[in-house]
Structure 1
Amino acid sequence: MEQKLPVPPFSQETAIQKIRMAEDAWNTRDPEKVALVYTEDTVWRNRAEFPKGREEVKELLRRKWSKELEYRLIKELWAFTDNRIAVRFAYECHDDSGNWTRSFGNENWEFNENGFMMRRFASINDLPIKEADRKFFWPLGRRPDAHPALSDFGF
């Protein structure tokens, strides 16, 4: 059986590793790649959408990243247990009219024994910002290790 390391039960170190891997994947903005860490029958709550299964997740992500341009995301550990991780996050992006937004949220993740995410429940709030108020500056893709983390911004 395929595994997505690290697998539960999580320690603080492996929970942080799992979060950074998720952040890195989401910053690719590649729905095919991102969806591979979820079970085939994954269940999500994302804002007012409730996708079920990898194919619906891919479709949600395609729509998301076709509208959220220059997307840059930072995730951070909030809490963890054996097979669950709670995450805080923020991301910045703009729409096709150049209107910038910083979105803040929390995610609750539940994993199976092989390290695939079975459930993802996200609560997200959007804050319109001016381009001059942006905080996340790095080339599109993986956030550099030296870039400030979420807590460094006081978010």
Structure 2
Amino acid sequence: MSAPEIRPPVPPFTADSAAQKVRLAEDAWNSRDPDRVVGVYTHDTVWRNRAEFPQGREQVRQFLQRKWARELDYRLIKELWAFEGARIAVRFAYEWHDDSGQWFRSYGNENWQFNAQGLMERRFASINDLPIREAERLFHWPLGRRPDEHPGLSALGL
């Protein structure tokens, strides 16, 4: 029998461990690597992302592949909103452009529920897209992990 997958930090969350979980998620999503991202979800994870409802790691992987093929030069910032027990609420914004060069800032909220091993069982996301001019962009780090010195959402007034 194989050992269970464990993704620390695990619930019940504290303010520090919840903030750490949020940053780990942000880092994974900024990698734009679907295989890396799906590893933090349970095999039978349930999602709602806008009007899509992927279930299980394979459907989530396919969703992320489509997402990052469409949302080019994607850069994301997540911020802890609230937590209790095995649940975390997050607000986020990300910037990206489509294949015509139109930039967007997408704003949203996520509700997460974790199992005892720290894998995400449920993810419910509500997201709105705002077209912006390239000159209005605020997320200018090189693709990949947001540098620690780059301001977060609150510092940017978002």
TM > 0.5 fold call: yes
Q: What pairs up with 1:53-68 in 2 under 5 angstroms?
A: 53-68=56-71
Mapped to 2, the partners of 1:4 and 1:102 lie a distance apart of 30
Instruction: Among all aligned residue pairs of Structure 1 and Structure 2, give the percentage whose two residues are the same amino acid.
Output: 70
* 1:118 pairs with one of 116, 121, 124: 121
Q: What pairs up with 1:77-92 in 2 under 5 angstroms?
A: 77-92=80-95
**CA drift at 1:154:** 1.3
Cα RMSD, aligned residues only: 0.4
Give the aligned partner of residue 137 of structure 1: 140
Instruction: Say which SS state the counterpart of residue 97 (structure 1) adopts.
Output: coil
* 2:25 pairs with one of 13, 16, 22: 22
**CA drift at 1:147:** 0.2
* 1:107 pairs with one of 96, 106, 110: 110
Mapped to 1, the partners of 2:140 and 2:7 lie a distance apart of 29
Mapped to 1, the partners of 2:61 and 2:25 lie a distance apart of 15
Mapped to 2, the partners of 1:46 and 1:57 lie a distance apart of 10
**CA drift at 1:2:** 2.1
Matched, 1:50 2:53: yes
How many residues were matched structurally? Answer: 155
Mapped to 1, the partners of 2:125 and 2:43 lie a distance apart of 19
Mapped to 1, the partners of 2:75 and 2:153 lie a distance apart of 12
Aligned-partner residue type, residue 118 of structure 2: G
- The runs of 5 or more residues in structure 1 that have no matched partner are none
Q: TM-score, normalised by structure 2?
A: 0.97
Q: What pairs up with 1:26-45 in 2 under 5 angstroms?
A: 26-45=29-48
Q: TM-score, normalised by structure 1?
A: 0.99
Aligned-partner residue type, residue 123 of structure 2: R
Moved over 4 A (4+): none
